[in-house]
Chains A and B, each alone.
Chain A
Amino acid sequence: MRGSAVPGSWTNAERRRQVLGLVFTGPWIVGFLVFALYPVIASFYYSLCDYNVFNEPVFHGWRNYAELFGEDRLFWTSLWNTAYFMFFAIPTTMLTALVLAMLLNLRVRGQAFYRTIFFLPSIVPVVASTVLWLWILNPRYGVANKILGPVSPHMQWCWDHIAALLVWLGMAPENVPKLSFPPGWLSNEYWSKPGLILMSVWGVGNNMILYLAGLQEVPRELYEAAEMDGATAWRRTRHITLPMISPILFFTLVMGMIGTFQYFTQAFIMTEGGGGPNDSTLFYAMYLFNNAFIYFKMGYASAMAWILFVLIVICTALTFRLTRGRVYYAGA
């Protein structure tokens, strides 16, 4: 019987095929055991230990978790920073990428040229782009503030009045942050994250390519039919374009969330691992890295890694739940 799971009952040919299959997938299986399965288990064990690499891990139960949730102020700061970044960076980058893709999809002349320009930033090596943006965002000499310079008094005036109005309306606390213009970017705790968001907006090329590919798949007839029915451009976008590319939007949303939880290199290089000013760029993955490889608190960092894992699963599941019925899968 073919479905039999007992190797003894296999024919020679079947056994041969089994062996060949395992020989070919063997490297991955070994890799999976050594670089995925064992580390996941070990990581969980370490998370219950006091472990600094130099000595053997000492089991001490849930103490790392208790310390993280109970006492570690920086843990909560890093979570807050990551949440802030997620809340602002993902919509901004998605919207920018979508606008660029829709503009390109108008089939204007020189489409390939524009596409290249918008895509190029995303292939710049991350260390190079970080160093570049550090210079662009230099508060005194960077090009961002040189461009903003002439308008910054007006922006200051606007912000001061908006802040005063919000306080007066009771919508903001009395000690509403005093934002200064031109922005101090990486030297100011209120401007550091917007600076990093600006940098990630520059690198939306990947998402743009995905959206553009999605847009080009949308059947033309749908637009033609809608146009005949007198649908406006906005309604065509809202009711045809967005639903048709919703699977890609959804995919990039989930990937963006996972990516933000792992946001590390840019902040690490800009602040040399410090997460300053005033811990405003201490992101979750960076605090984890610092714990592991700078303070050598491997057990503590493993606990953070597991919390990260659980948070990613929860966020992904929540996104699936919240978007159910809004993502359109052709043929499903």
Chain B
Amino acid sequence: MLSHAALISLSVVFLIPFVWLVTSSLKSESHLFTRRPEWIPRGEYVRLDDGTWAEVVQQEVLTRYEEGERRGRPRDIRVTLTDRRGAPLLKELFTAAPPADIRDMDKGILHDALKAAFTESAVPLPAVPRLKPVVDGHTWEIPAGDTTYVLRKDDTAIRVYTDAPSRMVVGADRIETRAWPTLRHYVKGIQGFHFSLFLQNTLRIALFTVIGTVLSSSWVAFGFSILEWRGRDKLFYLMLATMMLPPQVTMIPVFVIFKSLGWCNTYLPLIVPSFFGNAFFIFLLRQFFLTIPRDLIDAARVDGCSTFRIYWQIVMPLSVPALATVALFTFMWSWNDFMGPLIYVVDEAKYTLSLGLAMFKGRFASRYGEMMAVSVLLTLPIIVLFFFTQRTFIQGIKTSGMKG
């Protein structure tokens, strides 16, 4: 009973980061940055004209407007959107010529001015897409996406997000908090992050690395186990010794080699080394090959089977489980690799998912929703892979531990 209690509470502790990862990726900003922990993804929504809901991405209160002089012209109105504490959200929403005598500038006029800013009559601002008024100027067309500002009756503006184009009555005012997950971070993460491009890059590298490692490691392991020749075991121990060599020692000269070959900013430095065999996998496969009955190989040889055919048609088919382990771990390492792409890949178009996420983090430090969404997408394939290959996986981990 006690052990169950301990296991359950420890499981909860270990699961918290996962839950936090997933809920964060599904929450609106207003619920991401809160004081209390919120475990259920929530957001604010407004009801649109056609009965659907639009997520309120940002609520901005119009609190500051100033008059200014510009190039001799009498006065302009500058309208700034600020958050509730008065910090500017957009530097300047728009600058418009005074619609009337400046002393009359009350909120109503400002409201009109702001409305004008959204329509085509005002100075265009790239950050604020203009809305097309439909019918009478009270209903606006809202495009899909999230940079749509909508003005409300109480002089606040909200930024809404919808999956599909919709319509909204000016001043559709009721904002409701609902426990609905939003997929906005995923949509934006996938678009803004070049997800599919980085995914293709990652898969391309992983594919070649897996092929290279499986072929070369099994080829070499065959030479270290099935074949008998002088000096074999000495070389094998030398190979085991190289596993202890820290990669930092070889990293710099290897970089110099690849650089002098002109391979920087290509995937070759990440792929080519895998075609020379990996010491750990050679070791793993050798141990497996040694369990293949000797008689089988001798019989094949007596029947006139060439060494290459013994490798390709007898040893390889018999070793599918071990080869699967090698392929699985190579794929994982390649998928997760960070330092390799960091050193060799320069162009953003060539980034892998891992490198891309790390760089994304540096550029958009506070967009945690999107970062969490991309992290989920980076993690999910590995977890799915794990569930399908659990036994191979655990066996591989154990073997890696037993080698010492």
Contact = CB atoms under 8 A, between A and B. Distances in A.
Given A28-B220, A46-B252, A264 B339 contact: yes
Interface in A101-118: 103-104, 106, 108, 114, 116-118
A166 interface: no
Contacts of A38: 253
Contacts of B138: none
B253 A46 contact: yes
Contacts of A40: 245, 249-250
Contacts, number: 249
Kindly name the residue among A117, A133, A252 whose own CB sees the greatest number of chain B CB atoms within 10 A: A117
A128 B247 contact: no
Interface stretch (A59-67, A74-82, A139-147, A235-243): A139-147
Interface stretch (B15-23, B124-132, B154-162, B176-184): B15-23
Given A28-B282, A53-B259, A125 B276 contact: no
Interface in B121-154: none
Contacts of A125: 335-336, 354, 378-379, 382
A209 interface: yes
B393 to A, nearest CB: 8
Nearest to B20: A143
Q: Which of B34, B259, B397 has the most CB of A within 10 A?
A: B397
Interface stretch (B50-58, B61-69, B367-375): B367-375
Given A20-B229, A120-B18, A141-B34, A127 B248 contact: no
15 contacts: A21-B231, A27-B220, A31-B273, A32-B276, A35-B254, A125-B335, A128-B376, A128-B378, A129-B375, A131-B375, A132-B20, A138-B368, A141-B368, A298-B256, A305-B246
Interface stretch (B5-13, B87-95, B109-117): B5-13
B249 A127 contact: no
Contact of B401 (A118, A213, A264): A213
Given A24-B219, A30-B276, A146-B35, A117 B250 contact: no
A285 interface: yes
A6 B344 CA distance: 45
Contacts of A129: 17, 375
A-B residue pairs, 6 tightest by C-beta: A31-B276, A24-B223, A21-B229, A39-B253, A39-B250, A42-B253
Contacts of B220: 24-25, 27-28
Interface stretch (B72-80, B291-299, B356-364): B356-364
A131 B398 contact: no
B237 interface: no
Interface in A121-172: 121, 123-136, 138, 140-141, 143, 146-147, 149
A117 to B, nearest CB: 5
B11 to A, nearest CB: 5
Give chain A's interface residue range (CB within 8 Å of chain B): 35 or more
Q: Which among A35, A125, A130 has the highest number of chain B CB atoms within 10 Å?
A: A125
Contacts of A31: 273, 276-277
Contacts of A218: none
B239 A32 contact: yes
A272 interface: yes
Contacts of B257: 34, 39
A285 B248 contact: yes
A190 interface: no
B223 A269 contact: no
A210 interface: yes
A305 B251 contact: yes
Interface in B347-404: 353-355, 357-358, 361-362, 368, 371-372, 374-376, 378-379, 382-383, 386, 390, 393-394, 397-398, 401, 404
Given A27-B276, A114-B7, A262-B248, A252 B401 contact: yes
Contacts of B254: 35, 39
A202 interface: yes
B165 to A, nearest CB: 32
A244 interface: no
Query: Per DSSP, are chain B's interface residues mostly helix, strand or loop, or mixed?
Result: helix
- For chain B, which range describes its interface: under 10, 10 to 19, 20 to 34, or 35 or more residues? 35 or more
Contacts of A251: 401, 404
B315 to A, nearest CB: 11
A209 B339 contact: no
A262 B21 CA distance: 27
A222 interface: no
B251 A292 contact: yes
A36 B242 contact: yes
A102 B353 CA distance: 37
B368 to A, nearest CB: 5
Contact of A127 (B224, B279, B354, B386): B354
A115 B161 CA distance: 41
B250 A141 contact: no
A58 interface: no
A298 B372 contact: no
A261 B246 contact: yes
A60 to B, nearest CB: 17
Nearest to B36: A146
A26 B357 CA distance: 38
A29 interface: yes
A35 B224 CA distance: 20
A108 B8 CA distance: 11
Contact of A27 (B35, B216, B246, B343): B216
B252 A302 contact: yes
Interface stretch (A84-92, A173-181, A223-231, A306-314): A306-314
Contacts of B191: none
B371 A135 contact: yes
A147 B10 contact: no
B103 interface: no
Interface in A294-332: 298, 301-302, 304-306, 308-309, 312
A118 B394 CA distance: 13
Given A36-B250, A210-B397, A262-B246, A121 B17 contact: yes
Given A20-B223, A132-B20, 17 more contacts: A18-B230, A20-B229, A32-B238, A32-B239, A36-B250, A39-B252, A43-B252, A46-B253, A106-B3, A117-B15, A120-B18, A123-B383, A123-B386, A136-B20, A254-B404, A258-B246, A305-B251
Given A27-B277, A103-B7, A265 B372 contact: no
Given A24-B219, A28-B220, A132-B21, A127 B229 contact: no
Nearest to A120: B383
A246 interface: no
A126 B336 contact: yes
A265 B337 CA distance: 10
B382 A28 contact: no
